Amino acid sequence: MKPTALHGLRGYALAWLAGMLCACASAPSQYIVERLDPVTGSTAGVLAAPVQLVTTRNRGSGRDPFAALAPFEIDRMGNREMFLWIAAPQDNGVPASVRVLCNDQPLAVTPAHLNMQQHGLTRAPYARSAPWNGEWYFDLPSEALQCLASAHHVSVIAQLADGSQDEFTADATQLQGVAAFAMRYAQP
């Protein structure tokens, strides 16, 4: 091989290696989308796809086996607020309450009566995956976001009026987007 050819191969190899390192460093951003509201100018930081949770027991034929959860941040000219969105099926009846467990412990979140327009958004941060899903919003403190981001598993429990409950879970592999979200948005 001529020295110039060897030099060209080294340069190519170094360029390839640098590109791969940059791709690895930016991987978490694939999970996060920032949406600018064209009417209000507010920005919503959301997951590209909500976390899908699966039922822990057979709910019967014709019953939806999935729920979803996802954090989001609303930024109104530097005023930032963090929330947790949950969607769960109401095909067994409307839940009287919904709660979240992080590694089998209750997640410290409080229900948020969220008016999107008052918070600077003209549409909800996430779309329901099915028309029979109900939606719930919770205030999301940094500690709760960190718990979700590092959790081995997360559960959403919908308590029905008749005393029964539906439980949906996700494990750490499904929570990678939440970990990326926490790295970007968690307040110190």
Say which range, 34-43, 52-61, 101-110, 141-150, has the weakest mean pLDDT.
Answer: 52-61
Q: Are 136 and 86 in contact (CB under 8 A)?
A: yes
Using a 10 angstrom Cβ sphere, with 0-12 exposed, 13-18 middle and 19 or more buried, the burial of residue 94 is exposed
SS (H, E, C) 110-146: EECCCCCCCCCCCCCCCCCCCCCEEEEEEECCHHHHH
Flag whether pLDDT at 14 surpasses 80.
no
Kindly state the average pLDDT of the residues 1-26.
47
Mean pLDDT of the residues in the chain: 83
Flag whether pLDDT at 1 surpasses 70.
no
Kindly state the average pLDDT of the residues 119-132.
87
Rounded to a whole number, what is the distance in angstroms from the first to the last CA of the chain? 55
Q: What is the pLDDT of residue 22?
A: 46
Identify which of 17, 102, 69 has the alpha carbon closest to the alpha carbon of residue 177. Answer: 69
Residues in the chain: 188
Please give the C-alpha separations between residue 102 and each of 4, 59, 108, 157, 172, in angstroms, as whole numbers.
58, 22, 9, 11, 11
Kindly state the average pLDDT of the residues 112-126.
88
pLDDT band at 63 (very low <50, low <70, confident <90, very high): low
CA dist., res. 182 & res. 47, Å (int): 11
CA dist., res. 147 & res. 129, Å (int): 25
Q: Are 51 and 68 in contact (CB under 8 A)?
A: yes
Kindly state the average pLDDT of the residues 81-97.
88
| 162 or 179, higher pLDDT | 179
DSSP state of 50: P
- Predicted TM-score (pTM) of the model is 0.80
Q: What is the pLDDT of residue 108?
A: 95
CA dist., res. 102 & res. 19, Å (int): 37
Helices (H), the chain: 3-25, 142-150, 176-185
pLDDT band at 32 (very low <50, low <70, confident <90, very high): very high
Q: What is the pLDDT of residue 13?
A: 46
Count Cβ atoms below 10 Å from residue 50 Cβ, excluding itself: 23
Assigned token pair, 174? 């499904």
